Amino acid sequence: MRDLSKLMQGRLILEDGSIWHGTPCGASGEAGGELVFNTALSGYQEVITDPSYTGQVVVMTYPLIGNYGMNAEDEESPGPCVSGFVVRECTELTSNYRSQEDLRDYFTRYGVVALEGVDTRSLTLRVREKGAMRCFITSESLSDEELAQKIKTVPDLIGQDMVEKVTCRESSSFDSDFVSGFKPGLSTDGGRSRKVVAFDFGAKSTIFRSLRAVGCEVIVVPASTSAAEVLAMKPDGVFLSNGPGDPRPLTYVVDTVKGLLGQVPIFGICLGHQILALAIGAEIEKLKFGHHGSNHPVQEIDSGKVEVTAQNHGFATTAASVEAAGGRVTHINLNDQTVEGFEVPGSMAFSVQYHPEASPGPHDSLYLFHRFRDMMGTEERSAPA
């Protein structure tokens, strides 16, 4: 039974000084980070365990969260990555045969501070109006003066290297094969497997499973791996993963990608897309409130096809700078016309800003993994000179 003494005890403050009340539905304590809103209707477990949310507090716009519980199979990383979580209602009843734990117990077990009973509609509108802001949340009923002091202690994520906090520490093979959305018979073409060296900038496990599903051997490497080390592995292709934060401080990764361009096929998503943009000399800008959700429309320019996509990013590259750097924009966001994909002609490199593996989200964009496999070809490759 819910502890009635905790009703409306929690507080949330944004850096503009606005305050929201809520009820604790996770661990006791306090947390801070950049507040972003996510518009997905389901898939809250994948959101919570996505390393791209490191340093961020997520507010879900869908009002009822937790109704199908949590399970070990849907984790995108070994545990929660969000700094905090805010919802309108966190259900106490889970109804799914796969459920192993309810969301409240999950948050308590991992020490995640979460609030429910918050007016998430007005909170989301505030972020849309003023942009992403730092926030502080607490399970305690602190005074306005105490909250005003607490928000000052929350660091600004812009200019920080967040990848260093989440990347793997050593190289390893990724061997899990299961991924939903791929139809039987599409995962192989009768040829040999392709060796893909995948940079882990804070990758979701479903991305690597998606590469496996199209017949790739996946070697996961830390973000600090050099171009020479990658080429010594004689890969058929290089994958640049998603990850948290601002790509502009990641100069060491950008230099590595510069050394790989034209040497081996490259496919990047999300943060990897932004890093590829920086590597060719394009520019990165901070979006007002970012794209976070599983229902963003994207158009492929050549075919005119519209995909509904999963997204999670606060930065983007600009079309003018991509074209000035010799790239070609391939996909655009139909909500705000931002760049959602580009290719580098003559360099065997392409990237998209969204998440083609979804999890959560639709499977409209799974074809991109097949496109990457086709780009790697069927011939045997030797290490580039």
pLDDT tens for residues 263-280?
999 999 999 999 999 999
198-225 average pLDDT score: 96
- Identify the band that residue 3 occupies on the pLDDT scale cut at 50, 70 and 90: low
Query: Which runs of consecutive H residues, i.e. helices, occur in 161-270?
Result: 163-166, 205-213, 227-232, 251-260
CATH of the domain spanning 163-376: 3.40.50.880
- Active site residues per annotation: 270, 355, 357
Do you find a cis peptide bond into 247, omega within 30 degrees of 0? no
The residue written with tokens 């097949």 in the block is: 370
pLDDT (tens digit per residue) in 77-86: 999 999 999 9
The pLDDT, as a whole number, for residue 175 is: 84
The pLDDT, as a whole number, for residue 178 is: 53
The pLDDT, as a whole number, for residue 8 is: 62
CB 78 within 8 A of CB 105: no
pLDDT (tens digit per residue) in 291-313: 999 999 999 999 999 999 999 99
24-41 average pLDDT score: 97
pLDDT (tens digit per residue) in 175-202: 876 555 544 334 445 567 899 999 999 9
- Identify the band that residue 7 occupies on the pLDDT scale cut at 50, 70 and 90: low
Residues of the chain with CATH 3.40.50.880: 163-376
pLDDT (tens digit per residue) in 127-156: 999 999 999 999 998 999 999 999 999 999
Strands (E), 27-91: 30-38, 56-60, 64-65, 84-86, 89-90
Residues of the chain with CATH 3.50.30.20: 4-151
Closest by CA position to 309, among listed 365, 268, 269? 365
The highest-level CATH class for domain 4-151 is alpha beta
Closest by CA position to 203, among listed 78, 29, 93? 78
The pLDDT, as a whole number, for residue 193 is: 87
pLDDT (tens digit per residue) in 89-125: 999 899 999 999 999 999 999 999 999 999 999 999 9
- Identify the band that residue 244 occupies on the pLDDT scale cut at 50, 70 and 90: very high
Amino acid at 268: G
The pLDDT, as a whole number, for residue 377 is: 82
CB 243 within 8 A of CB 270: yes
**What separation in angstroms does the CA of 295 have from each of 55, 65, 69, 158, 291?**
23, 17, 22, 26, 10
261 pLDDT above the threshold of 50 = yes
Structure tokens at 359: 């999890």
Amino acid at 162: M
> What is the percent of the chain where pLDDT is above 90?
89
